[in-house]
Amino acid sequence: MATTDAGTAFRGSVPLVYERYLVPLIFQPYADEMAARVMASLPRRVLEIAAGTGVVTRVLAEWLPKSTTIVATDLSDAMLQVAQTLGTAQPVTWRQADAMQLPFADGSFDAVVCQFGAMFFPDKARAFAEARRVLAPGGRLFFNVWDRIETNDFTCVVSQAVAGLFPDDPPDFLAQTPHGYHDVAAIRRDLAGGGFDAGVTIETVTLRSRATSPSVPAIAFCQGTPLCNEIEARHGASLLEATDVATRAIAERFGDGAIGIEGRIQAHVVSVATPDSA
């Protein structure tokens, strides 16, 4: 995560629920996809920003050569503690850091990687400028962001179900934050503002999300994201009641989970390199 608000929102039981339910549900498929892209660039020094509980970090540490240096950062110390507890296949340097003010020298890395963190940057152009600053000539920035919430099945159904419990003040975290940075033109403008004004590649990648039961996505989004804070701040339904309503909505749309359920997930994957000479 990348801002002070995000850093404090992912606290308490949220990081553990996030890792147990949300990571396998929606983050692991894109972690594998992202790591394959990073590997193809043959980096010797990799920086991950907004690493969360380390899903991409673990794949990178497993797939990249042992000679690769990997540094993983996040603003939330609670998320990093979970990541460190889970461990990695090769040594990783973990560091609490703000993506908009990276504590690294110019040109320190061959690749900067960010999975589903850019949406949280309050000044995205500044964060991209920091990524560009710490990249060596010819280095590459890789990141992904969620497409519109309507293109992500479980997320959309949970968001609508929970909103229905609070018609006068519907929680909108999922739509406005994780799924609020889907405009490709805006992404290109922010990249240009950060100094990446050429060679930007943006691909829309659609994958499948799978769960063993309807309760999995309901718990994942209601209790493993800051949506839980929005629910608890409102009157009319408890967090458990909201989770139950979301579970029923998922079951109605995708089935009771007797043989598992699955839905679409969709994201934009971005790759851009710095010039070969500074």
Using one digit for the tens of pLDDT, what is the confidence trace for 123-135? 999 999 999 999 9
Q: For residue 100, is pLDDT > 60? A: yes
Q: What's the whole-model pTM score?
A: 0.94
With both helix axes pointing from N to C terminus, report the angle between 239-254 and 153-163 in degrees, rounded to the nearest 10. Answer: 130
Sheet order of strands, 109-115 included = 93-96, 69-74, 45-48, 109-115, 135-146, 261-273, 201-211
Q: Region 80-90: what's the mean pLDDT?
A: 97
Q: Which pLDDT value is given to residue 256? A: 87
Domain that residue 42 falls in: 4-273
pLDDT band at 2 (very low <50, low <70, confident <90, very high): very low
Whether the pLDDT of residue 110 is over 80: the answer is yes
CB proximity list for 21: less than 8 A, separation 6 or greater: 216, 217, 219, 220, 223, 224
Query: Could you write out the DSSP letters of every residue in 64-114?
Result: S-TT-EEEEEES-HHHHHHHHHH--SS--EEEE--TTS--S-TT-EEEEEE
Residue 4 has pLDDT above 70, yes or no: no
Contact of 59 with 36, CB cutoff 8 Å: no
Report the pLDDT averaged over residues 159-173.
97
Separation of alpha carbons 184 and 16, rounded Å: 32
The answer for residues whose C-beta is within 8 angstroms of residue 169's C-beta and 6 or more apart is: 234
Structure tokens at 254: 């995708």
Instruction: Output the domain CATH number for residue 228.
Output: 3.40.50.150
| Both tokens assigned to 134 | 């710490």
Q: 151 lies in a domain?
A: yes
Q: Does residue 41 fall inside a structural domain?
A: yes
- Which residues does 183 contact at the CB level (< 8 Å), separation at least 6? none
Looking at the chain, the whole-number percentage of residues with pLDDT higher than 90 is 92
Task: Please provide the average confidence, as pLDDT, over all residues in the chain.
Answer: 94
For the chain, the domain total comes to 1
Contact 264, 153 (CB under 8 A): yes
In a domain, 267, yes or no: yes
What is the predicted pLDDT for the residue at 8? 43
DSSP state of 179: T
**Residue 278 falls within a domain, yes or no?**
no
